[in-house]
Every structure is written in C-alpha cells, then in structure tokens.
Amino acid sequence: MRILLDENPCEIPAGTVGEAIAIAAEAAEKAGRLVVEVRVDGAMLTDEELQTTTRLQDAAEEVQMLTTTMEALLRDTFLQAAETLTAAEREQRLAAEAMQGGRAAEGMASLMQSLEGWSGIRDAVVQGLSLAEIPTEDVEFDGVRLADAIVDLQKRLGRLKDAMVAEDVSATCDCLLYELPESTTAWRTLLDGLHHRFEAASEDAGDSNS
C-alpha cells in the first residue's frame, strides 16, 4: 500500500485503509497539523465513509491524506460561516417578503433555509473554538461577546418558533425583519473577528494551505 501525506511518501506498516489513516493522522498531529482530506485510490472519502468500519478495513493501492494547520482550518471555517450568515440574512428577508405577499409555501422554504444556516453557523463556531480550546466566554470583538450573542440568538429563534406555531404571520415577519437582523449584525462582527484572528495566526504559522 502506497501512503502519501501531503504528497510525501510515508513508510507506514499499514495493512488497511483505517490503519493508514490512524497512523498518518497521529504523525500529522505530532507535527501540529490535522488531516482534512483522505483519498483512497484517487477517490475522496466522505465523512460517512470515514465512520464506516467495513470501508476502513479495506485494503488499497494508495491512500493519500492532505493536512493543514489548525489555524488555517479555523480561518477557513469562520470565513465560510460568514458567507453562510450572508445567505441566511438574504433568506430571512425573502421569507418575510413572501409571507407578506401571501406566498406562504415560498416563505416557509426560505425560512427553513435561514434556520438551517443559523444552525450551521452556531455549530461551526462552537466546535471550532472547542478545537482551539478557547472558551466561548473569552471571545469578544468590538464590544460583542459571543456568550451573549448565543443566548440572544436562542431567545430570538424561540420567539420566531412561537410565532410560526401560532401561525402569526405578522409576528413571524417582525422576527425576521427586525429581531434576527440584530443577531446577524452581532454574529457578523464575531465571525469577522474570529476569521482575522486565525488568519493572522495562520500567517504566523507559515501555512500556505487553505
């Protein structure tokens, strides 16, 4: 089995795909890097496949792994979260406009897209900071505290859910047009701050991978 770590051949005594990944990941971690992509015989493994025992027990001609630094990974994570936030904001506006125009199904579709985006943003931030071992209570940019932003978002989403359950179109639109935008502003400040923080850290680490 040919094993490559960032295109560099590795002399690893592995008999299965899983063994190759585990040993190479440990070597990468010791070098301060994380495995972010695995290719087996040229095909990239999905997250689901990486959790499938039978797939990991397979043999292969070549296993290739790409790595990056934690700083670069989080830099990109927070940049992507900021892009998701922009999309969620757009869907909120479209949802309100559709509902006000009597297009309930269209509005609900946009609303669900927005809620899915918010869920992804929150998870990305919490999990990213956990990886970096940074407590949410310690994150603050331009007077905006992440711990407060999380609580405020939860409250606003709760009021939105109540309005939806009550089928109160007016209250739902108020949440979308006036309440959630306050969270959008706060989270944009936080995501921009986190992105720049890890962008600087990535440059200090001298990492050129994205």
pTM (two decimals): 0.84
pLDDT average, residue stretch 77-98: 98
Please give the helix or strand (H or E) that residue 77 lies within, else none: helix 70-100
pLDDT tens figures, 43-66: 999 988 888 888 899 888 999 999
Q: Order the strands of the 43-44 sheet from edge to edge.
A: 8-9, 2-5, 62-69, 33-40, 43-44
Residues 16-41: tens digit of each pLDDT: 999 999 988 888 888 889 999 999 99
Q: Tell me whether strands 2-5 and 62-69 are parallel, antiparallel or unpaired.
A: parallel
What average pLDDT does the structure give for the chain?
93
What tokens does 155 get?
């409250």
Instruction: List the structure tokens of 105.
Output: 């199904």
Query: pLDDT grade, residue 205 (50/70/90)?
Result: low
Residue 163 CA to residue 171 CA, distance in Å, equals 6
Q: Say which residues have a Cβ less than 8 Å from residue 91's Cβ, sequence separation at least 6.
A: 110, 111, 113, 114, 117
Average pLDDT over residues 73-97: 97
Predicted confidence (pLDDT) per residue in 91-137, tens digit: 999 999 999 999 999 999 999 999 999 999 999 999 999 999 999 99
